[in-house]
């Protein structure tokens, strides 16, 4: 059972991390919803870890958590762009 949960979660977590980094860099106006989706997927991973403890899954979730935390801090430090006024 331990390996089944790892197999079920490894590809979605890696894919979300890759797409999250790509979206964070390429689409700054959509960073808020993107980070929210990454955090929600991380909660799914934590639930899987709660069901079956695995050091490999814990390591993957730790990397995912660190990446999301770094992106969140960078997002919060970036000032909001002012709207352009057309005259």
- CA–CA dist 7, 9 (Å, integer): 6
Give Cα separations from 38 to 58, 61, 84 (angstroms).
16, 11, 30
Each residue's pLDDT tens digit, 11-44: 999 999 999 999 999 998 899 999 999 999 999 9
* Banded model confidence at residue 87, pLDDT cuts 50, 70, 90: low
């Amino acid at each position: 059972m331990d390996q089944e949960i790892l197999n079920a979660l490894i590809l979605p977590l890696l894919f979300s991390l890759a797409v999250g980094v790509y979206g964070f860099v390429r689409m700054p106006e959509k960073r808020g919803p993107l980070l929210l989706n990454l955090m929600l997927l991380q909660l799914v991973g934590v639930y899987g870890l709660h069901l079956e403890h695995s050091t490999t899954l814990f390591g993957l979730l730790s990397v995912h958590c660190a990446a999301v935390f770094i992106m969140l801090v960078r997002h919060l430090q970036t000032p909001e762009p002012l709207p352009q006024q057309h005259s």
